[in-house]
Chain A
Amino acid sequence: MAEHHTAAFVRTEILPEQAPPVSEAGIIRWMRENLFSGPLNTVLTFVGLFIIYFVLKEYSPWLRHSVWNAGSVGECRDIVTAKYGEGATGACWAIIRDRWNMFMFGFYPRELYWRPTLALGLLIFAAAPVLFSESRLIRMWVLGVVSVFLMVAFPGLDVPNGDTALLAVVLVGMLALAWMRPWSLLWLTAVYPGLAVWMLWGGSAWGPTLAMAGFVIGWLAWLATRSFGTILSVGAAVLAPVLWWLFGMAPVQALLDASLPAAIEGVRSEKFGGFVLAVTIGVAGIVLSLPMGVVLALARRSDMFLIKGLAVGFIEFIRGVPLISLLFVASLLLNYFLPPGTNFDIILRVIIMVTMFAAAYIAEVVRGGLAALPRGQYEAADSLGLDYWKAQRLIILPQALKISIPGIVSTFIGLFKDTTLVVFVGLLDPLKGITDSVRASFEWKGAYWEPYIFVGCIFFIFNFSMSRYSMYLERRLQRDHE
């Protein structure tokens, strides 16, 4: 074989690199691999292309002929006809422009629009230390965007310049805190529920304050009775706030209102509508249902028969009935039982029902997470001598909740979308309630797709953000090394 090495045609240097064949590189390769990899895929690709072409052909003129400035559907049609000729169709987005306030705020008093807006902005600040605790960069980005949004929105909502300046100072202060000592923002998180209720519904500041004080009273009761044993102290911690809310609060509030009035203009629940309503119910439902769901999940896995039975009964009952029937119970059936003249706020009723509904689902999702944990984790917790609550708090739940994140966020997204169902109990949700009442005026009768598309887009923004956040959270909590 050796003599072959001396043959003249043996190459002595390496060939220069050549570009890969056309069919194996770039877009063509990608298309060959993904779109035309076999007869079935080729056919499906062409079917898909045809559908896209058909949709674009049908709807792109409609979108391209959009009208943004008009006083009625009829005017929209006239403009489209004048511009694009007889028989042309065009989207009439002027309905959104004209009734933007109704879609966003329902019938909330116009001069008070800043209150729900500020409540939403502060919600992000209150949530920041919890949601974005690890990355300062992301935290500052999110809060910065929210601050800019508030600073732009406030003058647009006819807020006096002095108040906008005050807001700017507060925002800068909170941004500085978020930069240097994010955990101090937890104080805002703690008072936020009361603050949000006060901002949204207005009225006396003492109502929400004293209601929140109930939790402090519960904590104090627990501290005071701790030495008498767990059962007694837990009982006191539950009983004391309930007694406070039922009997103690009203006289104290009357006294404080008389001596130290601190009230802003009240807004009643039927004025709520549109996205203010959807976000109010959605956020309250999300915030309340997570702890309730976790407790239910733990209760369902408990060894105590009564606790377990109650949890199973509750979860299976709630999951067994449609949300609409619960809402009907809240709005109509309750009135048969409540004394006439009782004012049990309809939004509060709906929030309670939505919370119970979501909590039952979250309980099952969390139970799935608990069941997925290897038994060794429970045994490890026991072997460390941790009691039940410490074991749950330090070892079990952090892992179980991490496993459950996708399911929990799915439930939250579902809950937020389900807020549109409140239309069936006479509340003006953005999708159907507001849309129908906008269309009930003669100017906008006949506009069909535009409001739905608009509301759909806003819902998409909210839900997509939630979904992306959950993916970020999953990455952040990745503790195993792959």
Chain B
Amino acid sequence: MKKSLFFGTLTAAGMVAGFAAAGTLEDVVARGELNCGVNTGLVGFAAPDANGNWSGFDVAICKAVAAAVLGDPNKVKYVPTSGQTRFTALASSEIDVLARNSTWTFTRDVDLKLDFVGVNYYDGQGFMVPKALGVSSAKELDGATICIQTGTTTELNLADFFKANNMTYSPIAIDSNAEGEQQYLAGACDAYTTDASGLAATRAAFATPSDHIILPEIISKEPLGPLVRHGDNQWGDIVRWTLNALIAAEEYGITSANLEELSKGSSNPEIDRLLGTSGDLGPMFGLDNLWAKRAIAASGNYGEIFAATIGESTPIGLARGLNAQWTQGGLLYTPPFR
């Protein structure tokens, strides 16, 4: 019985598969819920608490998009994805948006037919070594054994870096961050390499963080950002400008504290357009005029999200660095809202 039902569905599905491409916004609204792909668990970026409520830096993007589109930041179905399944899950419509600390690269953007809509975290790959090793620069790691997560861009960067510097290394393949920490602490590898944000969180969780140092070299550019399927530009625009709205809100000084007040009208016309007090930006991509206000209300502006999830007051303690506003010497620069 099950088989015939199964194949019957398959045949029926084949006939309508052609319509799958367009209309993510309609799908999401009809469903009343945003399917958001997140990490299965990465400290600070995406983690469920004991009650299954997700929170984190990437999760905040999901919440903002859901708030903008559906009016409720809680109308999100979080789909935990692994490093191997994340892009397939997006391409196959299992999820509407992927916010899973994924690096924006040429092949992922072009060859995998995905669209990165922006960058929410500028990361870079670094190395952590035990202090006892007596190494102070990544250039001194010739011949070292290095723990490296498979299926990630870090794996490729590592090969490039050692090749460029005429050095050799023996990789120890690991599957997850937890396994990497364990191998590193057990002495299976001399150095552990992953994104610098991950290294900071890992080091902070060690019993004696001061016994380990993060080497100064950052060997790669890892612009991490949310992405959507290729070919649905309206949906891509919504996610892109939701992210931009969060970044712009920080630039213009819109916080969750003064959001209500500013949305009554302000002296800055750009704020008025962003919060929908004037102009009609929202209807241009099929939302109402208060979309950005709701997105900001979900968990605050970019700076607030950063401070609450991975910033210096959290145990992870990441400095803003490259992720400061362009006015503060960082790389965050959103196009104008007009």
Contacts and interface: CB of A to CB of B under 8 A. Distances in A.
Interface of A: 73-74, 77, 98-99, 101-102, 106-107, 110, 238, 241-242, 245-246, 270-271, 328, 331-342, 344, 352, 423-426, 428, 432-433, 435-442, 445-446, 448
Nearest to A100: B50
B30 interface: yes
B118 interface: no
Contacts of B49: 441
A323 to B, nearest CB: 15
- Interface hub of B30, B39, B178 (most chain A Cβ within 10 A): B178
A98 B50 contact: yes
B44 A442 contact: yes
15 contacts: A74-B205, A102-B52, A238-B1, A245-B1, A245-B5, A270-B77, A335-B92, A339-B20, A341-B31, A344-B9, A424-B84, A439-B178, A442-B316, A446-B207, A448-B182
Q: Which 5 A-B pairs have the closest CB atoms?
A: A440-B41, A107-B52, A440-B47, A335-B92, A437-B41
B94 to A, nearest CB: 5
Given A332-B89, A426-B80, A440-B47, A340 B39 contact: no
Contacts of B44: 442
Given A238-B1, A445-B201, 6 more contacts: A107-B48, A340-B27, A426-B79, A440-B42, A440-B47, A442-B314
A340 B94 CA distance: 9
A23 to B, nearest CB: 45
- Interface hub of B19, B42, B50, B89 (most chain A Cβ within 10 A): B50
A324 to B, nearest CB: 10
Nearest to B176: A436
Nearest to B23: A340
Nearest to B2: A352
A426 B50 contact: no
Contacts of A340: 16, 19-20, 23, 27, 93
Interface string B243-265: 00000000000000000000000
Contact of A426 (B17, B30, B48, B81): B81
B13 interface: yes
Dominant SS at the A interface? helix
A331 B85 CA distance: 10
B205 to A, nearest CB: 4
Contacts of B181: 446, 448
B207 A437 contact: no
B303 to A, nearest CB: 20
Contact of B92 (A336, A433, A435): A336
B133 interface: no
Contact of B50 (A77, A101, A271): A101
A432 B206 CA distance: 21
- Interface hub of A270, A344, A441 (most chain B Cβ within 10 A): A441
Interface in B83-129: 84-85, 88-89, 92-94
Given A245-B1, A436-B41, A442-B43, A332 B51 contact: no
Interface of B: 1-2, 4-6, 8-10, 12-14, 16-17, 19-20, 23, 27, 30-31, 39-44, 46-52, 77-82, 84-85, 88-89, 92-94, 176, 178, 181-182, 201-202, 204-207, 314-316
Given A238-B1, A332-B85, A442 B201 contact: yes
Contacts of A74: 205
B20 A241 contact: no
Contacts of B176: 432, 436
Nearest to B56: A440
- Interface hub of A74, A246, A342, A445 (most chain B Cβ within 10 A): A445
B104 to A, nearest CB: 22
Contacts of B88: 328, 332
Given A332-B92, A337-B10, A425 B85 contact: yes
Contacts of B16: 339-340
A330 to B, nearest CB: 10
B9 to A, nearest CB: 7
B17 A341 contact: no
B210 to A, nearest CB: 14
B4 A242 contact: yes
B51 A107 contact: yes
A242 B5 contact: yes
A428 B178 CA distance: 16
A435 B201 CA distance: 18
Contacts of B41: 436-440
Contact of B6 (A99, A341, A352): A352
A77 B17 CA distance: 55
Contacts of B20: 336, 339-340
A73 B39 contact: no
A339 B13 contact: yes
A271 B201 CA distance: 28
- Interface hub of A99, A107, A428 (most chain B Cβ within 10 A): A107
Given A77-B207, A335-B93, A424 B316 contact: no
